[in-house]
Amino acid sequence: MDLCHLHLALVSIGAAVKGADASQVARLSASADCQSLDTPNQHSQSYPDLITGNLNGTTLIVPISLEIAQEVIPDEYEIAEQAYRELLPSFPDGMYPMVAQIVHDHDIRVYSLNTSLADFSRASLEFPFIYIAGDDHSPFRWVGTSLITYSNDIAIEGAQSYGITVHPATFDPPCDAYVSKPNGTTYAHSQSNDTAAGRFLTLQTESSGENVPYPLDFIKNVTNQPVFANPQMCDYYVRLFNTSVTKGETAPVPVVGNVRTNLEPFTGPQMWDGVYGWRLATPFLEPLEPSVCVET
Ligand SMILES: *[C@@H]1O[C@H](CO)[C@@H](O)[C@H](O)[C@H]1NC(C)=O
Ligand SMILES: *[C@@H]1O[C@H](CO)[C@@H](O)[C@H](O)[C@H]1NC(C)=O
Ligand SMILES: *[C@@H]1O[C@H](CO)[C@@H](O)[C@H](O)[C@H]1NC(C)=O
Ligand SMILES: *[C@@H]1O[C@H](CO)[C@@H](O)[C@H](O)[C@H]1NC(C)=O
Ligand SMILES: *[C@@H]1O[C@H](CO)[C@@H](O)[C@H](O)[C@H]1NC(C)=O
Ligand SMILES: *[C@@H]1O[C@H](CO)[C@@H](O)[C@H](O)[C@H]1NC(C)=O
């Protein structure tokens, strides 16, 4: 996330690597065996004091009714309907653009601390265009819950330190953003380790060709809204859309697909078909620590 953070976490990476905690070393090296197809981090030296890495995955916009959105988003926050209508005048009346996404965080580094963190995946339902104080000028993205790769304790603790409820989870594929089937369909699945809780998120998509209801600029806006579970601890996570990663072979692809899930804030299984979005990979920048959410 928006998720790896924390001096403490980083200090514990250092401790693990020095052999202070043998079990953690074992886990870190087990994750290191996970070979990913993702593009390496080429920007850590340019942003030495930030957490950097590449984020690759599938981000779908799921139109849900404003009534349901109001039910599932905590009462103290306000939906900034005018903000998304300004960006997307054709968005259907009475609807709200929820996000369903599964992403893989790759080659995570902090250059100035000479430290790195094992890759991990995460899956979530996210709620952009939220005003925290009622009259904010720029909207925030509420993410209360996330499924995160069970073996990455540092990523899990980092997310929890932001107030996010984490379900440790397995991912298919385990070391990449999605699998491509021979017919061009791509697939990603996440399942909570706690099988009794039965939390999961599955995305299956194919290219949507010329049919692109959400321009990349809209996705850029949504994915750059600061993330919060607790308004005292915003994650000012930035995705860069101006590097070679978003050009050529690895450029974003508009997609259409379906979502199957059982994940908070919903209280039971949900399915959505024919939803549009993007397969997208970008470099990211993230502060080492959370800060209070402030309107800009
Ligand atoms: C994103 O992940 C897919 C699937 O693993 C891979 O083919 C693609 O090259 C990745 N893109 C980047 C920029 O890493
Ligand atoms: C950075 O970390 C690596 C691996 O832990 C170590 O070999 C190297 O000496 C460190 N470099 C600096 C400048 O501290
Ligand atoms: C997203 O768009 C809204 C409405 O135009 C704007 O207020 C906000 O600053 C934008 N956010 C980002 C991160 O670009
Ligand atoms: C591609 O194959 C998968 C099963 O492997 C199937 O679920 C999907 O519908 C197929 N997609 C298309 C476009 O035929
Ligand atoms: C989570 O599930 C995976 C796959 O079944 C298993 O290998 C792992 O040990 C489990 N981890 C925890 C903490 O339960
Ligand atoms: C790319 O975008 C970032 C953030 O939006 C900005 O800080 C940076 O200066 C831009 N880089 C170039 C080469 O335009």
Write the pLDDT tens digit of every residue in 120-166. 999 999 999 999 987 778 999 999 999 999 999 999 999 999 999 99
CA-nearest residue for atom 7, ligand 2, is 114
Q: What is the pLDDT of residue 296?
A: 72
Q: What is the pLDDT of residue 2?
A: 37
Position 25 pLDDT exceeds 60: no
Q: Determine the structural domain holding residue 219 and report its residue range.
A: 14-286
Q: Which residue among 110, 114, 115, 117 is best mutated to probe the pocket of ligand 2, counting the most ligand atoms within 8 A of its Cβ?
A: 114
Q: What is the pLDDT of residue 294?
A: 87
pLDDT level of residue 32 (50, 70, 90 thresholds): low
Query: Has residue 5 been placed in a domain?
Result: no
- C-alpha 246 – ligand 4 centre gap (Å): 26
Q: Which two tokens stand for residue 90?
A: 């054709």
Q: 285 in ligand 6 pocket by Cβ < 6 Å?
A: no
State the CATH number of the domain containing residue 113. Answer: 2.40.400
Query: Has residue 292 been placed in a domain?
Result: no
Q: Which ligand is nearest to the CA of 84?
A: 3
Query: Has residue 127 been placed in a domain?
Result: yes
pLDDT average, residue stretch 58-86:
97
Q: Which ligand is nearest to the CA of 224?
A: 3
Query: Has residue 2 been placed in a domain?
Result: no
CA–CA dist 194, 192 (Å, integer):
5
- C-alpha 231 – ligand 4 centre gap (Å): 41
pLDDT average, residue stretch 8-31:
40
CA-nearest residue for atom 9, ligand 6, is 242
- C-alpha 99 – ligand 2 centre gap (Å): 39
Q: 17 in ligand 3 pocket by Cβ < 6 Å?
A: no
Write the pLDDT tens digit of every residue in 218-256. 999 999 999 999 999 999 999 999 999 999 999 999 999
Position 16 pLDDT exceeds 90: no
Residue/partner pairs of 290-294 with CB below 8 Å, 24 or more apart: 290/5, 290/161, 290/162, 290/232, 290/233, 290/234, 290/235, 291/233, 291/234, 291/236, 292/231, 292/232, 292/233, 292/234, 293/132, 293/140, 293/226, 293/228, 293/231, 293/232, 293/233, 293/234, 294/234
Query: Has residue 202 been placed in a domain?
Result: yes
Cβ proximity of 102 and 58 under 8 Å: yes
CA-nearest residue for atom 8, ligand 3, is 138
Position 20 pLDDT exceeds 90: no
CA-nearest residue for atom 3, ligand 4, is 185
Residue 160, number of CB atoms within 10 A of its CB: 16
Query: Has residue 294 been placed in a domain?
Result: no
Query: Has residue 176 been placed in a domain?
Result: yes
Q: What is the pLDDT of residue 235?
A: 97
Pocket of ligand 5 (CB under 6 A): 150, 168, 170, 193
pLDDT average, residue stretch 267-296:
95
- C-alpha 95 – ligand 4 centre gap (Å): 29
Q: What is the pLDDT of residue 10?
A: 47
Task: Report the number of distinct structural domains present in the chain.
Answer: 1
- C-alpha 130 – ligand 3 centre gap (Å): 11
CA-nearest residue for atom 6, ligand 6, is 240
Q: Which ligand is nearest to the CA of 175?
A: 1
- C-alpha 222 – ligand 3 centre gap (Å): 8
CA-nearest residue for atom 14, ligand 6, is 242
CA–CA dist 109, 44 (Å, integer):
6
Query: Has residue 26 been placed in a domain?
Result: yes
CA–CA dist 214, 83 (Å, integer):
15
CA-nearest residue for atom 11, ligand 4, is 185
Q: 114 in ligand 2 pocket by Cβ < 6 Å?
A: yes
